[in-house]
Structure 1
Amino acid sequence: MSNDLPEYVTHGGALSFPAPIVIEDGSLNGFFIKAEPHKISNLLDRVFHVPSQGKVKYVPIFTYVYMTLGNMPKIYSSTINIGPTTEKELTIWIPAAAVHTKNGQQYIDRLVVFPSCVIVDDPYSLVSGREALGFFKSWGRISGVEDNSGSPQGFEVQTFGHKEIGDQADYHQLLKFEKMTEPGEDHPSLYTLREVFEYLTDILRKRDDIFHPDFKWDLKLFYNLFKDMWEKEFPIALLKQLRDSGSTGAVYQAILESMAQINKFQSFHFLGFYQFSLSPVASLPLEEELGIEPDSSLHLGTRVNLDFQINGGTEIWKA
């Protein structure tokens, strides 16, 4: 960012702190959930392509989204460190590719992830995430993520909002994972990023059906980009915007890419198979935006333990 910026004024108690945001001993419990391909594409276009008037284009890679339910026992800003806080969160990630078109041909520039929905239970994270970084975070309660036994029995997320439009705002159950079976011996724990990368790429080689129809990919290029992303750092695509005080406009609007950096990879574990259920909440319409629906199939849960940080964003486009 420019050194010519005016100094940020703090008064009356600060809740917003700049990157890098450092997370120590974090754990992310993850599930791949089936979504509707055209709805994922429409959401990416609405958030990035339309505001930038076609200058920025991200296309989804998969027909699945990746849900992570995280427990962050120690999180702080390394720029202004007044002490750590804790955070529990739900994030729904859309893996995507930044692309450009030349002579009617689509080319991949880089891989990114877009946090389409983020629910947190910590005020520092809520305010810093929205104001400083551009994460479109909302408020809620997340339970089950604090279970470090290696075999959590379930996870539940409540969001603060409106069950129906016009209702009084309150906490409402949004989604739930209930454990059905253990993972089995064919799902061993992994302790290096290379092992995780090889496991994931083996799945991708066998499952062409999980790729989004809009994603025109070259196998060799995709795996090279995927490998770089896993071994080093990966961009998080964000639409950072600030509302105008008296209209529906935005006084600041920009597309940023913030780098997530893995500082220490600890382990990757399979948790077992879970039943997923989703409850409709009008103020957070996951079915409408992503086409996520509960189904009768079981979902394999995983857990990643790691230290990582979110660095400051680079403006890709600005209004």
Structure 2
Amino acid sequence: MPLDRILRHLIAWQQADGPPVPARALGVEEARRRYRANAAPLPTDTAQGPHPEVTSTDETLTAADGTTLACRVYTPPTDRGRLVTYLHGGGWTVGDLDSHDLACRSVADALGAVVVAVDYRRAPEFPYPTPLLDCIATARWAARVHPGRPHVLAGDSAGASLAVGVALDARDQGDLPLAAQLLLYPPTDPRLLFAAGSAHAEGHLLSLDDMAYHYDLYVPDAHRRRDPAVDLLGADLRHLPPAVVATAEFDPLHDEGVELADKLAVSGVPVRHVPGPGLVHGYFLMQHLVPAAAARSALVLAELDTLLGPPQHDDRPAADEHCEAVRA
């Protein structure tokens, strides 16, 4: 379907003064500043803001090397006994707790889950595997602090890649039970072969060159891009938790996201693929601006809700465990 009308106007407005500046031309600090400036802050009057009854507390946890990491814990108004470790996107280089605050609130509210988000260390100051190790430590901390809850690993974009990396580690270590994965438009192919062949590699907020630049910062050692936690399409995906994989139609990463969903299914992992017709990369962060993004985000979270099945006090039927595409 065509690009969503509001997104089309948003992109045109951003390009009114000329073509977008590539991420590598901006530099890391300016890219971080712009990313945070574009993230929607919480309204001063929280009673008028989205998900106003979700509360948050800032806490700290300790990484594997002893570094103290900031994290934020969200508590929903109706706690259904679930736990989500949410890993923010931003090309492994930008993004933080504040940029994804509203996204985490929407997850907590929709799922009735306690959500733990972490300010993991970012490239280029801390290249791979440090961000991944921080996320592994966060998931283990969340499980210790909130024991006994069905535990979901969730992330958008780079955070989705990190979520799969945590799931691979949890499977291999065998001591972190996981109920599901929520993977929003994940980057899965560090060679960028799928993105290079995309009809939407330019002009839709995320470009092929931006992805190449982020990979250069995150995994500067080309040999390490073959690691399973980076090259997700080359990884052994068997025995991972069930997954909801969301893609966006006008996204350079669309095809590799679909490929990941297909490979998960072939590997025996129950997976639900939720396409994003008319949408662009990053739409989960645009719920406050783009009604189509809000509607599709709600559908994604509803699919995860169904996949998780009802809490013991909930009489709704459990999800079917098979691969399907949601086309509503």
> What TM-score, normalized by structure 2, do the two folds share?
0.26
Q: Over alpha carbons, which structure has the higher Rg?
A: 1
Q: Which has the higher helix share?
A: 2
Q: Which has the higher strand share?
A: 1
Bigger RCO (CA 8 Å, 6+ sep): 1
> What TM-score, normalized by structure 1, do the two folds share?
0.27
